[in-house]
Amino acid sequence: MDRIKAIIEGRGAWPSRSGLMGIILLLIALVPVNGLSYILPAGQIIEYMGKNFSCFQSLVVRQWAKATDPYGEEEIEMMEQKVWLKAPWLSHCEMGAQPSGDQEFRSISHGCGWCELPEILPLFLQHTPEELINLLSQWGIDISIVSLTHVGNEVAYRIGKKTEISPYLIVQRDHFLPVLLRICGQGSGTIPFTVEFKDYDKVGEGWYPKRIICTADSGEEEEYVVQRVEANVPIDPSIFSNNKEQPQEIPSEAVHSPDSSERIKDIIETIKKTYQQPLQ
């Protein structure tokens, strides 16, 4: 290394061809691996990501949900939830009245949380790459932009613009599992929020996150902890009778409104009242 330094500073003689080749190989070895990383195009990343869920025609998920009330600074223990998902875009959520047992479930008006998670979970169903690209585009994600980023100590792909006010999707580079989704203008009405997918577990031949955390820019947070996932079980079509078959269009930019915080307050009050009412 001293000899290389001397050559760079003009204090040493240039080595022979074989010596120069050795120096070049040494410099290449010293270059960080990330500096030579090849960034895959978005279409290929999305295709590999979709293969992790290609075996899921339908999913039935039981989960616990806990919401943090930023206005009262207290945690609201929500009821057990049951979510039905069927390819390509069908989803439905109901909440039970008690936090244990195989009780009945009932549908409630606020859609099992302010971030409307059932509208996001079809991401984990079987789709063609074109369908997934369409879904991301409807969330406002610019799939023409791909870059490398870090999630903790892991390198990941970021699909979308490099700004916090723009929607994006972050996907693991090693396993191509989605780990972070940024949405602007859906669920909470007008407040942007992020969705973290954590602690993936093997379900059959596919993968599903055991923890999902939704965090709004205004401070609201919902955490979902999965208790059980059933894959490819028959689902009565009537469960989705009041649901739209296609995902809603999502604006690419957040539109802020003074009514959004009031809407979230109303949802929290609805949740509180719901938990105090026993099943009929």
Q: Which long-range contacts (CB under 8 A, 24 or more apart) does 196-201 make?
A: 200/175, 201/226, 201/229
24 pLDDT band (50/70/90 cuts)? low
What gap in Å lies between CA 72 and CA 158, rounded to an integer? 35
User: Has residue 206 got a pLDDT over 60?
Assistant: yes
Exposed e or buried b per residue across 88-120, where buried means at least 16 C-beta atoms within 10 angstroms of its C-beta:
bbbbbbbbbbeeeeeeebeeeebbbbbbbbbbb
Lowest mean per-residue pLDDT among 99-113, 162-176, 186-200? 99-113
Residue 201 DSSP label: E
User: Has residue 95 got a pLDDT over 70?
Assistant: yes
Structure tokens, 76 = 């609201």
User: Has residue 30 got a pLDDT over 90?
Assistant: no
What gap in Å lies between CA 175 and CA 246, rounded to an integer? 28
Whether 239 and 84 have beta carbons less than 8 Å apart is answered as yes
User: Has residue 157 got a pLDDT over 90?
Assistant: yes
- Residue (of 198, 178, 182) closest to 122 by Cα position: 178
Q: Per-residue pLDDT tens for 37-68?
A: 678 999 999 999 999 999 999 999 999 988 87
Residue 26 DSSP label: H
Q: Per-residue pLDDT tens for 246-268?
A: 444 333 333 333 444 454 455 44
- The predicted pLDDT at position 256 comes to 37
User: Has residue 271 got a pLDDT over 70?
Assistant: no
Residue 34 DSSP label: G
pTM for the whole structure: 0.70
User: Has residue 170 got a pLDDT over 90?
Assistant: yes
> In sequence order, what DSSP letters do the residues of 218-273 get, joined into one string?
TS-EEEEEEEEEEES----GGGGTTS-SSPPP--SS----THHHHHHHHHHHHHHH
User: Has residue 276 got a pLDDT over 50?
Assistant: no
Lowest mean per-residue pLDDT among 10-24, 46-60, 164-178? 10-24
Which amino acid type is present at position 160? G
